[in-house]
Amino acid sequence: MAFRDLLDSARTISESTSVLHGIFDKSCSLNHQLLLFDNIIEAPGHRVALNLLTRNELCKGLSIAPEEFIDLLGSAMGELGEPKIVENGPVLESPQEVVDLTKLPIPHHWREDRGRYMSASMIIAEYGGIRNMSFHRQLLRDKNHLVARIVPRHLRTMMTAARERDEEVNIAIINAPDPVVMLSAAMSFDENLDELLIASTLHEKVYDRPLELVTLPNGIQVPADCEYAMWGRITTENDDEGPYVDITGTVDDVRQEPVIEVDGITHRKDPIFHALIPAQAEHKALMGLPRAPTIKAAVNEVCECLDVHMTEGGGGWLAAIVKIRPADSGDALRAIESALAGHRSMKMVTIVDEDIDITDPVRVEWAMMTRWQPDRDTVIISGQKGSSLDPSRDADGLTAKIGIDATIPFGIDRTPFTSVQ
């Protein structure tokens, strides 16, 4: 299934709209519905879609029940599928004759941002025999250059190794592939796993066929049905990147970050650019959903974990609600420790029983107010590595973390704790 196949229920906006805050303002005025813009002032012939990747929209589009979604993602982490390499594909239909990024519908959403950003585009890089696919926001600098905020994970390690040899890193940048590709790119692992192989596994599980890849002129392979593909290099040059409104809704710092030089651009006919708005539900879902399986797997090592929800208030990144079925009195506290270890950027985790709807903050708060005693059911751990997304972290990057046990005390009569609502 292609990205565009998930847009049947989108509301079409045909009025002239600018990439300079116009897409953002219209989305805000319509409460961030699933939208498709087909009249972009700066990019005639290009369309823009946003507000697609919420949990509900993804489950509907992929024909998956919400309670099955996390297990589907988790199952793909343990398997590496084999993509099918093809000679041609829709993304190669319309190559740009002269590279000009300014003619793409790259949006300037938040007025606090430095400029026009690609927030939903993925970088596929190859260096030293390793392939990596991951999300890194990219600031449009000029017609053939971007400045990317490359966070300290695998791609940063590859780039650092290349720069030590005064070498560049060959990359592709893709926009609007199948959602299973985006979810795979949003996963992170301690070891170097090929996210395109994980994407192929998901593709086979969801669609019963392998993911098809085409090869770009620089040798990098990309999904054949993505809407846009660019090829180029992470250079040895740095430039200012930021400010940028990040997932928590706060403004991220200005940093010196690597410059990408784009050598070529190709896209589908009548292409649709994915213009995710940072700090909105789509951003939080894309960041948070791939974290949930790793947390669930970690908690399942110590007790039965039924579900995990990354909260919107935590930006889909800093806080989670974990539903367990306790088998003894220590399970909830063990679940707290395992959950925090399963996602090290997380600052707060709340453990609840199986009768609580973990996607409903009112029910979670109800569980806390009726089942949690702060002096005995709270774990606070100091001096932990924090997330750069948390502006309250210490200057050295450390933070405290908290776990809340909002389960019914084990082994007692549950009747007084049971809601009839």
- Would you give per-residue pLDDT tens digits along the chain (421 residues)? 789 998 988 999 999 999 999 999 999 999 999 999 999 999 999 999 999 988 777 777 777 776 677 788 787 776 788 899 999 999 999 999 999 999 999 999 999 999 999 999 999 999 999 999 999 999 999 999 999 999 888 999 999 999 999 999 999 999 999 999 998 888 877 677 889 999 999 999 889 999 999 999 999 999 999 999 999 999 999 999 999 999 889 999 999 999 999 999 999 999 999 999 999 988 988 887 888 888 999 999 999 999 999 998 998 899 999 999 999 999 999 999 999 999 999 999 999 999 999 999 999 999 999 999 999 999 999 999 888 888 899 988 899 999 999 999 998 888 888 887 7
Euclidean distance between CA atoms 375 and 373, whole angstroms: 6
User: What strands lie across the sheet with 11-13, from one edge to the other?
Assistant: 11-13, 35-37, 47-50, 272-274
Question: How is the chain split into domains, by residue range?
Answer: 3-286, 290-417
Euclidean distance between CA atoms 209 and 346, whole angstroms: 35
Q: What is the pLDDT of residue 131?
A: 95
Q: Which residue has the tokens 């003619």?
A: 103
End-to-end CA distance of the chain: 41
Q: Which two tokens stand for residue 42?
A: 């700066």
| One-letter identity of residue 283 | H
CATH number for 290-417 (one of 3.40.50.150, 3.40.50.10880, 3.40.1670.10, 3.40.50.2300): it is 3.40.1670.10
Q: What is the pLDDT of residue 93?
A: 97
Return the active site residues.
246
Which residues, including other chains, have CB under 8 Å from residue 130's CB and lie 6 or more apart? 154, 158, 192
Euclidean distance between CA atoms 291 and 332, whole angstroms: 20
The DSSP code for 17 is B
Euclidean distance between CA atoms 351 and 189, whole angstroms: 24
CATH architecture type of domain 3-286: Roll (2.30)
Q: Residue 271, Cβ neighbours under 10 Å: how many?
A: 25
Q: What is the pLDDT of residue 74?
A: 80
Phi, psi at 364, each rounded to 5°: -65, -45
Q: What is the pLDDT of residue 190?
A: 66
Q: What is the pTM of this model?
A: 0.90
Which residues, including other chains, have CB under 8 Å from residue 400's CB and lie 6 or more apart? 380, 381, 382, 383, 384
